[in-house]
Amino acid sequence: MTSSDTVRPATITARGWGWRHAGRSRPAVSGLDLDIRPGERVLLLGPSGAGKSTLLHALAGVLGDSSAGGADPASGAAADPEDADETGSLLIDGAPPRSRRGRAGLMQQDPETQVVLSRLGDDVAFGAENLSVPPADIWSRVAEALDDVGLGGLPLDHPTSSLSGGQKQRLALAGILAMRPGLVLLDEPTANLDPAGVLEVRDAVGRCLAKTGATLVVVEHRVSVWKDLVDRIVVLQPGSATDSAVLIDGPPDQVLAQARDMLTAAGVWVPGYVPQTRARAGARDAGASGGTAPGTTAGLLLLAAEDLAVSRERPRRAGLRRGFRPIPPEPVQSGITAQVRAGEALTITGPNGSGKSTFALTLAGLLAPVSGKVSATVELSAGAGIDPYRWKAQQLIARIGTVFQEPEHQFVTGRVLDELMFGPRHLGRGEERVDELLERLRLTDLVDANPYTLSGGEKRRLSVATVLAAHPQVLVLDEPTFGQDANTWAELASFLSELLDDGTAVVSVTHDAEFSQVLGGTELSLRAPEHREPQGLEPGREPGKVAAP
């Protein structure tokens, strides 16, 4: 690979740099002084609101225009708050990042939006095309980049939509590498991935940097993942007029020793640190009555799945010749049997694509089973019928509460308090519980805020509180700890352990072993899907399969 030596690592220089986003009163970053040498690998840490992502976006040259960029800084007081505002200087190789198209490559958090085109090879080529690389060179760069990230085994016309989250992030890395950037910027690249995906991406980044020698700046909560790959940690603090934006700066071990307490307090996942959580009262013998729960007895069967086959797809209609009969979708997982009992935790684990979330949603009465059945006992159904999928929405929320992975999907009002009151108001009871939930999940100061404007941790706490406001006996959570900082993690785990002791059944889909350990109970491990090509198209969507069932 001769072309790799053409990469020239980038230098970053910041002098009193600051940025205020359009329409905000306070700057996201201010007074940043930072020098990053060519080929250095830097992990950026800091509490949320410290401006880490803003800095990365600025380096990638995608921050948009500012009013005061070239204007006289002395007249800064008159700057229009509706416009973004830049102070000081931030340079890559001595020039503003915006003028250096292609010098930096940026990877963001959400894998779905890191893919631009629908065929693997085209997507990798996209950046190189934009930089006007001669077409003859592009395909050799594409092949090399795909090899480097470990996707070289797939055909170039492989559909990008059928890749897993970890593969999509590696594809994004390949797209960046094909641009031959001197600076690689990673903005929480593994926050949405399962543990296997996290390592896949981390190792691919490590291999590529070792080969190209490019400068790296990565933002990530989970220090242990990146600690051995970086040679410097920079801790930022939220912008203020007087203090410097850089709080601590140095080699990883030194920074972690020096600032361990400060970092754990800020919710950073420092290696070897498991946050303190409340212990389960009945943890020692699961199944025994853990606490006194009004109306429920711990261990009582509430909900059961028998020989269940699940899929997100709805039955499709056969063609004219087969009389428009419904054809059941091909299940992603089948033969699942499980029981949900009051005051006990059920943890659902398994590799990507094993249908964990799909099973949980079916159990929660949100998806119809493909075959088999979900049945609620009399204790749970209380006259609503045996099949949760047939319950009305209001009957459902008072019995089974489901917390989705993305909190924003569940927001139905424009104000935190209304969001919490929504369930109780519709049910006509339980409004008195809202205050307790606000207090318990530290949302009291946010009652008038718009749910969409909250931070990630606040959104997560709110989404749990809103579902619990309807007082369900069964709580189902889909990856509740994904992307959460250590503080939110600890709060959530403690709160759920308390709920369990009070007699609520908690079903969680999670990859997080420490989390399921706190909750205790039983684990249901789903197998990897069978009979499917590794690069598999979704079954039932492949034209050939419809004609020949």
The Cβ-side half-sphere exposure at 462, using a 13 Å CA radius, reads: 34
338 beta partners: 305
Collapsed DSSP state (helix, strand, coil) of residue 337: strand
DSSP 332: S
Q: Which of 77, 210, 241, 393 binds other proteins (CB under 8 A)?
A: 393
> Under the criterion CB under 8 A, does residue 488 sit at the interface with other proteins?
no
> Under the criterion CB under 8 A, does residue 412 sit at the interface with other proteins?
yes
> Under the criterion CB under 8 A, does residue 366 sit at the interface with other proteins?
yes
Q: What is the rounded distance in angstroms from the CA atom of residue 296 to the CA atom of residue 503?
A: 6
Q: Which of 54, 192, 402, 510 binds other proteins (CB under 8 A)?
A: 402
* Cβ contacts of 290 within 8 Å, gap of 6 or more: 280, 281, 282, 298, 343, 500, 501, 503
> Under the criterion CB under 8 A, does residue 367 sit at the interface with other proteins?
yes
Instruction: List, in sequence order, every beta strand (DSSP E) within 161-276.
Output: 183-187, 215-219, 232-236, 246-250
Letters for 126-165 (x = contact with other proteins by CB under 8 A, - = none) are xxxxxxxxxx--xx--x--------------xxx-xx---
Stretch binding other proteins (CB under 8 A), from 125-133, 240-248, 483-491, 515-523: 125-133
> Under the criterion CB under 8 A, does residue 536 sit at the interface with other proteins?
no
Are the C-beta atoms of residues 184 and 176 closer than 8 Å to each other? Answer: yes
> Could you say which residues in the range 235-294 bind other proteins, by CB under 8 A?
none
Q: Which of 15, 373, 390, 426 binds other proteins (CB under 8 A)?
A: 426
Q: What is the rounded distance in angstroms from the CA atom of residue 53 to the CA atom of residue 29?
A: 10
Q: Which is nearer to other proteins, 121 or 150 (CB)?
A: 121
Distances from the Cα of 245 to the Cα of 16, 238, 241, 541, angstroms: 9, 7, 9, 51
> Under the criterion CB under 8 A, does residue 443 sit at the interface with other proteins?
no
* Cβ contacts of 69 within 8 Å, gap of 6 or more: 86
> Under the criterion CB under 8 A, does residue 119 sit at the interface with other proteins?
yes
Q: Which is nearer to other proteins, 469 or 526 (CB)?
A: 469
Are the C-beta atoms of residues 498 and 278 closer than 8 Å to each other? Answer: yes
Q: How far is the CB of 332 from other proteins (least distance, A)?
A: 14
> Under the criterion CB under 8 A, does residue 312 sit at the interface with other proteins?
yes
Are the C-beta atoms of residues 176 and 215 closer than 8 Å to each other? Answer: no
Stretch binding other proteins (CB under 8 A), from 69-77, 208-216, 391-399, 515-523: 391-399
Q: Which of 113, 224, 371, 517 binds other proteins (CB under 8 A)?
A: 113
> Under the criterion CB under 8 A, does residue 428 sit at the interface with other proteins?
no
Collapsed DSSP state (helix, strand, coil) of residue 363: helix
User: Which among 58, 53, 66 has a CA at the least distance from the CA of 98?
Assistant: 58
User: Which among 132, 167, 134 has a CA at the least distance from the CA of 152?
Assistant: 167
Q: Which of 22, 71, 116, 386 binds other proteins (CB under 8 A)?
A: 116
Q: Which is nearer to other proteins, 210 or 320 (CB)?
A: 320
Q: How far is the CB of 311 from other proteins (least distance, A)?
A: 12
> Under the criterion CB under 8 A, does residue 125 sit at the interface with other proteins?
yes
Letters for 169-198 (x = contact with other proteins by CB under 8 A, - = none) are ---x--xx--x-------------------
* Cβ contacts of 61 within 8 Å, gap of 6 or more: 96, 97, 98, 99, 100, 101, 104
Q: How far is the CB of 519 from other proteins (least distance, A)?
A: 20
Q: Which of 396, 454, 518, 519 binds other proteins (CB under 8 A)?
A: 396
Q: What is the rounded distance in angstroms from the CA atom of residue 372 to the CA atom of residue 525?
A: 18
> Could you say which residues in the range 33-62 bind other proteins, by CB under 8 A?
57, 60-62
> Under the criterion CB under 8 A, does residue 477 sit at the interface with other proteins?
no
- Cα 372 to the chain's mean position, in Å? 32
Q: Which is nearer to other proteins, 227 or 532 (CB)?
A: 532
Q: Which is nearer to other proteins, 186 or 233 (CB)?
A: 186
Stretch binding other proteins (CB under 8 A), from 124-132, 144-152, 271-279, 374-382: 124-132
Q: How far is the CB of 140 from other proteins (least distance, A)?
A: 11
Site size for other proteins, by CB under 8 A?
82
477 beta partners: 403, 508
Collapsed DSSP state (helix, strand, coil) of residue 259: coil
